[in-house]
Structure 1
Amino acid sequence: MMSEPKRLHPTAVILNLCHTIIQTIKNIILPFFFVYIVNSNHTVRFYGAIALGVLFIWLVAASIIKWRRFTYRIEDDEFRIEEGLFVTKKRYISIDRIQTMNTSAGLVQQIFKLVKLQIETAGGGKEAEAVLSAISVEEAERIKEAVFKKKAQRREELDEERLEAEEELDPSVEVQEHYRMNAKELLMAASTSGGIGVIISAVFALISQLDEVLPMDWLFDKFSFLQHASIGIYAVLIFIGLFIAWIFSIAGMMFRYANFQIIKKEQELVISRGIIEKHQVTIPLRKIQAIKIKENIIRQLFGFVTVSIVSAGGGDREKEEGALTILFPMIHKKKLPHMLRTFTPEYTLEENCRRLPRRALKRYLFRSVIFSLFLIIPLCIFFQPWGYLSVILLPIELLFGYLAYKEAAWTINGDRLQLTSRFIGRTTAIVLKKRMQVCKFSQSYFQKKGRLYTISTSVKSSSHMEELTVRDVGEEDAAFILKWYSYEKADG
C-alpha cells in the first residue's frame, strides 16, 4: 500500500556516499595537496591519513543513516517525506500541487535497474520539490499511477476542474504519435553545436586550477622550443587543438542526445534521451508557453533548426538549458511545419510574415558597428600598422546588421503571434495570446523620428520570465499588434 512508509533501494547509500565524497573533495582538495605534496613531514602525513580514514568512515555511516531515516508515502492526498541525519524533517507535498514526475537513470541506477524520480510542483523553482534517487521502475510507475488517480479523484469532487482532469496523464493511454531522431540529424546536431567553446573553456579552467596546486614549469619546459617556432607551426597546432576540441564536443553531444525520442499521449509529451545517463521528462501541452526555433549560421546553410519548448512546469531542469526543454535537437526545416502540427498543434509555423519598413535598415546597420568603432579607432591610432586589420570587422558586422534587418519579421494568425529576430543566429518564437503575460511597446527618441517601435512580450517559464522581442517595427504595425492584443484579448 502506498500509505505505508517505504525506503529507497539500498543503492541510495552508494549514491549518497558518492555525492557527499565529491562535495567533500571540493572542500579539502587544497589542504590535501598541502599535506601530501607540499609538506614532507611524515608525522603530519600520518595524522592526515588517520583524519582521512575517520572522515571516510563517517561519510559511510552518515550515508547509511540518511538512507535509513528517509521514508516516503502517499497519505491523505499528500506525498509525505520524512528524512534527517539527526533531526527528523517532515515534508508534505499536496497532490494538487504536483505538476510532473520525471524519471532519469544514471550509470549506477542502470546497473541495478533503478531510476531516479523527480517530483515537481507549481512554482517549485529550479530544483525539484522531491527526489527519490533510487527506486525500481515498477515502483516509479506505481507512484505515478497513484498520484494521477488521486488527482483524478480530487477533480471529480470539484465540478469546475473536470476539464483539467481529462488532460491528466493516464499511464494506460495508447501512444498517438512517435518521433525518433535519426542518425543524420544526430550527427548534424553534434557537429554544429557550440560545445567546442565549452570544451576549450573547461581546459583553460582546469589548467589554471592545477597551476595553483602543482608546479607546471616542467610542462612549459617541454614545449620551450615553440618560442622560436614559425607562425605556420602555431597555426597548425591551433588547428589541431580546435579539431580535438571539436571531436570531444561531437562525442559529448552524441552521448547526450542518443536515443532521442518523443511520444505523444493525448495531452502530454514524453521526451527521453541519453545512453550513459538516461533522461525522461513529461510535459503537459497546456503547460507550453511558447515555442522557440533557433538556427545558427552553419545549420541555416544546411536547412536544419533546433526547436525548444518554454514550459511553465516540468521540463528538463539541466543548468545549461535553463527554462527550455529541447523538443527537436535537430530537424530539417522542410519537416518542421508537419512535426509542429503533429506534436504541438496550437503552435504552428507561419511562412508569410510581415517585414520591417525600409527606414529601419539604417538603425540595424548603425547598431551593428557602433560598439566596434570604439575599439577599432584606438587600435588604428595607437597600434599602427597592425591596428588597421581591425577594420575588417566593419564589413562583417554590416553584413550581420543587414541580415538582422532582412530577417526580422512578425505575423499574427488568429490568437497566435510569431516573432523572428537575429543577432548572430536566427530565432523564431511562437506564442499564444493567452500565454502572453505582457505585451510592451517602447520607442526611443531616434525611433520616434523614424516612426518605429520595439515590440516585446513575456511568457512565464518554470524559473523566470522569457522575453521575446523584435526591434524597429513600423508604427502602423505596432498599432495593429496592440489592437490585436488589447481589444481582442479583452473580448476573449
Structure 2
Amino acid sequence: MMSEQRNIQRLHPVSIVVNLIKTIKSMIIPLVIILVGRGFEYSLNPTNENYYSTLIFIGVGLLIIISVISLAIIRWRKFVYWFEDGELRVEYGLVITKKRYIPFERIQSLNYKESIFHRPLKLVSVTVETASDQKDAEAELTAVSRQQAEEIEYQMEIAKQQTIENNKEPLTENQIEKTVIYKVSNKELILLASTSSSMGILFSAIAAIATQFNEIIPYEEIYGEMQNLIKFGVLFIVLIVLAVVLVSWFVAIAISYFANYGFQVIEEDNKLFISKGLLEKKRLTVPMNRIQGITIIENPIRQIFGYCRVVLISAGGSGESNEDKTVLLPFVKKSTAIKVLAQLFPQYNLQQNYIKAPRKSLLRYLLKPQYYFAIPIVLCSIYFYPIGLFSCVVIPPVLLLTYWQYKTAAFSINGYQLTMIYRLFSKHTFITEKKRIQSITQKQSFFAERKDIASAVVHVMSGNSGEQAYAKHFDLHEIEEIMAWYKPNH
C-alpha cells in the first residue's frame, strides 16, 4: 500500500523529453515512407487539388504528436520508485499498473549513461541489471540526479555487506582499492577510428537511403551529367570518388572518436567499470564473476601492425541494447593486451602450444565454401554469357580467404582452460574455462567421416543468445580429446 512506501521518488521531468525522442526516432522511417510514397505532393493553397489531403495529413500528424506527448507525460507521472526492505521497488504502467521488486543483493550492475540532455542538468540514466539472462534490463531510470544514482549504489552495497558472514564493519571507500587497468590515448583513438568498419557501414547507409528516393532524385539526369563529365577525363571522376571516400573516412573517424573518447577501464571491488563517450557518456559495470571468457579479435589491417581488440563474454549482457559484446580493450597492441589480460585473469595461460588443423583438411577448407558460389556462377555464366564469366573472379579471393582460415585454425587444452583460434575474416582467439562452458557439440559429415575429420562447436553463456567458438576440420581423435576433456570428473 502507498502508506507503507517510504521516500517515494520520481524521475526528473527531462525523462519526458528523452522518451519523446526515443518515440520520434522509431517513427522517422514510417514518416519518410509516407512522405516519399506521396512524392511530397502537399499544398496549403486552397485552389490546389492536394489542399484537403494536406490538411488531413497535418491534422492527423498533430493528433499523433499530441497523443505521444500526453502519453510521455502520463508515463512520467506514473513511474515511481523507492527503497524498502532491502529492495529497489518500481511502479509503472499506463493502463495497467505494474510493480517490480528487485532485491539489492541480486543487482549485478548499474550502468550509467549521460546524453546531451542529461549533462547540462547533471543527470544520468541508470540501467539496473541482475543475474537473469533476459534481454531487457530489470529497470531503467531514464533521468535521475547523481545523488539519487549514488543512493541506489549505497543501498546495494549495504545489502551485499549484510550477506557477508563475520564481516561486522562494512568496507569504507578508502579500503576499496581502485586500479586503472587501461586508458586509451589520442593516438590509439585516431588509429581505432581509422581502422574501424564505420566507413563501410556509412557507405551502406547512404546507399540504402539513396534507393528510397527514386521519385525525388533525378538519377537519370544525374547519370547523363556523369556521362558528360566522363568526357572531361577519367582523372576528374577519380578525384570525385577520392573526395567522397575521404569525406566518408573523416566522418567515420569522427563518429568512432566521439563514441570511444576517454575510454577507460577501472577495476574496483571485484568489478570492472568501463567508461567512454564525449557527447554521450556511458559507464558499464561488469562483475568479474559474470565473465565467461574473453575473445581477442584481430582484423587483417590491425593484425599487420600488431593491434587487436579484446571483448568480454559476459553473462547477463553488456547493458547496451545496440551492442552484443562488452569491449574491454577497443584498440591496443597485442603485447600490451596480453599483459593487461594476465593482470585481470591470472588463471588464464595466454602463451601456449597449439594443435593446428591437419594437412588432410586443407581440401575441405578450400572446396566447401565454393559450393555456395558454384550454382550462381554457373547460372550467371550461362544466362549472361560472355559478361557472366566475370563472376568467376570471386573464386580466387575466396580460395585465399579459406586458405588463410586453414592456416589460422588451432586449439589448445591446458588444465581447465580451452583456447580456440579461428577466422571468419578477422582472427578470433577465444579463451574460456571448463566450468564456464554450457555445451560442446561434435560435428562430422559423411565425407568428413571417411577421412576421420570432425569439428567441435563450444557454447558459453553470453547475453540473450550465447557465444560460440569453433574448431573446424581437425583429426577425429583430437576432437574426441576435447569431448573427453569436457566430461565431468575428467
Does the CA contact (< 8 Å) of 1:100 and 1:313 recur in 2? no
Alignment of 1:476 onto 2:485: no
**Deviates further, 131-140 or 230-239:** 230-239
Q: How does 1:13-412 map to 2 (within 5 A)?
A: 13-24=16-27, 27-28=30-31, 37-38=41-42, 40=48, 41-43=50-52, 45-46=54-55, 49=58, 52-53=61-62, 55-153=64-162, 155-156=163-164, 173-211=176-214, 215-217=216-218, 220-222=220-222, 224-228=224-228, 229=230, 232=234, 235-319=238-322, 321-322=323-324, 324-412=325-413
CA 1:169–1:183: 2 relative to 1, 3 Å: farther
The 3 A distance-change label for structure 1 pair 359 and 28 is closer
Do residues 450 (structure 1) and 423 (structure 2) align? no
Amino acid at match of 1:408: A
Separation (CA, whole Å) in 2 of partners of 1:171 and 1:377 = 71
Q: Is the CA contact 2:107–2:131 (under 8 Å) kept in the aligned structure 1? A: yes
CA contact (8 A) 2:39 2:216 kept: no
8 Å contact kept, 1:177–1:343: no
CA drift at 1:282? 0.7
Offset from partner CA, 1:367-416 (integer Å, 9 cap, x none): 24333333444444554544444444333322222221111101112211
Q: TM-score, normalised by structure 1?
A: 0.87
Matched length: 477
Partner of 1:270: helix, strand, or coil?
strand
Quick check: 1:281–1:314 contact (8 Å CA) kept in 2? no
Q: Kindly, what percent of the aligned residue pairs are identical?
A: 31
Aligned residue for 2:190, secondary structure, equals helix
CA drift at 1:471? 0.6
Q: 1:356 to 1:35 in 2, by over 3 A?
A: closer
CA pair 470-11 structure 1, distance change in 2 beyond 3 A: same
Structure 2 residues without counterparts, runs of 5 or longer: none
Quote how far apart the aligned CAs of 1:266 are: 3.6
Task: Tell me the CA shift for residue 298 of structure 1.
Answer: 1.0
**Displacement of 1:31 after TM fit?**
5.5
SS in 2 for 1:107: coil
Do 1:456 and 1:470's aligned partners in 2 also have CA atoms closer than 8 Å?
yes
CA distance in 2, matches of 1:190, 1:447: 42
Q: Which runs of 5+ in 1 are unaligned?
A: none
Q: Residue 371 of structure 2 aligns to a residue in which SS?
A: helix
Deviations 1:426-467 (CA, angstroms, capped at 9, x unpaired): 111001100011122222122112111101210011211211
Cα deviation, residue 78, structure 1: 2.4
Whole-Å Cα distance in 2 between the matches of residues 476 and 31 of structure 1?
60
Q: Which amino acid aligns with 1:401?
A: T
| Range that drifts further, 95-104 or 385-394 | 385-394
Offset at 1:67?
2.1
Cα distance in structure 2, aligned partners of 1:431 and 1:220: 56
Root mean square deviation of aligned Cα: 3.1
